[in-house]
Structure 1
Amino acid sequence: MIALGFLLLAAQPAPAQTLAPELQPLAFLVGSCWRTTMGNGHVTDTHCFTSMYGGRFVRDRHRLTGADYAGETIYRWDSGARQIRFDYYQSQGLIIRGTAAPAPQGLAFELSIPLADPPTQMRGTWTRDGDDAYVVSQEIRSGDSWRPVAERPRFVRVSAAPAD
């Protein structure tokens, strides 16, 4: 019974971390780790969000178990463009850049993946599903149209994010 109590406490949202007003759309993520299961249950994908430098940046540390893959995203406010920008550093050496914006019940993303010439264009949303989950949907540009990515992972808050 005591172990169950500790598990329930670990899954609670962490105390709010200070964020710059422009980064508030990310506030529901910050201070927590979020996880989904993919690949017929063989791979877990975990994102842990923390604020950096007095809330002027947000860090997302991303780890896959069951796969040799990790990454880190740094979100920041671009005052010139008046939008949230991010840089995603992938363990395989790729850097992906994009933007994030508030969307109904979550966030909207646009990004460019520089694996081909021209780079692959993607867009997606993270839609909140209650206080402790969000659902990811993505689309890939194909010519003049967008085609949806079939998988729609649901991330669940699993713990407080570890301190840096």
Structure 2
Amino acid sequence: MRPLFMLLLLSSAAVQAAPAEALKPMAFLAGHCWKGEFPDGKQTDEHCFSWILNGHALRDVHTVRTPGKPDYVGETIYHYDAAAKVVSYLYVENDGGFSRGTMKPTATGLEFPEAQYINGSMVLPYRVQWTVNANSYEAFSEMYVKDKWITQFKMVLKKQ
């Protein structure tokens, strides 16, 4: 019985491993879901974050819900890219689109510099800023269309 207890204790410690140093600015997200409403009030956006791979990566399961329509679902994996010395991510969605990009902490939250969303032949440059508060963060997303940056959306996501 004692070896089984020790094994359970060790596996529990591994699940709760400290995050990689570069991912610590994102630690407040882990273990929680964050939900917001799009400005038109017709859709909700929910992100659920969890540590994976002993804290070497952060997983974000992203779901946009629209009444009467199938959910739009995507997954992002954030990890530290030691060669580039930056936090990188890969986002893949259920419509076949994807993007790769980076994250860097700022004085007020997190910045996701310009990246490209690709779905088939469509390529859409975008960038995002998250301003962090005690139990929420504001996501401000812009896309590059016809030679200028335009607001895609601005939304407050609250800890659930």
How many residues of Structure 1 are paired with residues of Structure 2 in the alignment? 141
Q: Tell me, which stretches of 5 or more residues in structure 2 are unaligned?
A: 1-15
Q: Cα distance 1:117–1:65, how it changes in 2: closer, same or farther (>3 A)?
A: closer
Distance 2:44 2:25 in 1: 25
Matched, 1:37 2:37: yes
CA distance in 1, matches of 2:157, 2:120: 29
SS in structure 2 at match of 1:28: helix
SS at match of 2:154: coil
| CA displacement at 1:77 relative to structure 2 | 0.4
Q: Which amino acid aligns with 2:149?
A: R
Deviation at 1:50, TM superposition (A): 0.3
Match of 2:21 in 1: 21
Q: Is the 8 A contact 2:98 2:119 kept in 1?
A: no
Counterpart residue number, 2:111: 108
Which letter maps to 1:60? D
Partner amino acid, structure 1, of 2:83: G
Aligned to 2:126: 122
Q: TM-score by structure 2 length?
A: 0.79
Distance (whole Å) between structure 2 residues aligned to residue 40 and residue 142 of structure 1: 21
Letter in structure 2 aligned against 1:121: P
Report the Cα offset of residue 103 of structure 1: 1.3
| CA–CA distance in structure 1, aligned partners of residues 153 and 145 of structure 2 | 17
Q: How does 1:1-164 map onto structure 2 within 5 Å?
A: 18-38=18-38, 40-66=40-66, 67-68=69-70, 69-110=72-113, 111-115=115-119, 119-128=123-132, 130-142=133-145, 146-149=148-151, 151-158=153-160
Alpha-carbon distance between aligned partners in 1 of 2:64 and 2:121, rounded to the nearest angstrom: 28
- Name stretches of at least 5 consecutive residues in structure 1 with no aligned partner: 1-15, 159-164
Partners in 2 of 1:118 and 1:79 — Cα distance?
Answer: 30
Alpha-carbon offset, residue 119 of structure 1 = 3.0
Deviations 1:97-139 (A, max 9, x none): 11111012210002211247683221110001x2101111122
Bigger-Rg structure (1/2): 2
1:72-98 deviations in Å (ceiling 9; x for gaps): 100010000000110001011112111
SS at match of 2:64: strand
What SS class does the counterpart of residue 112 from structure 2 fall into? strand
| Residues 94/118 of structure 1: CA separation in 2 closer, same or farther (3 Å cut) | closer
Structure in which a larger fraction of residues adopt helix: 2
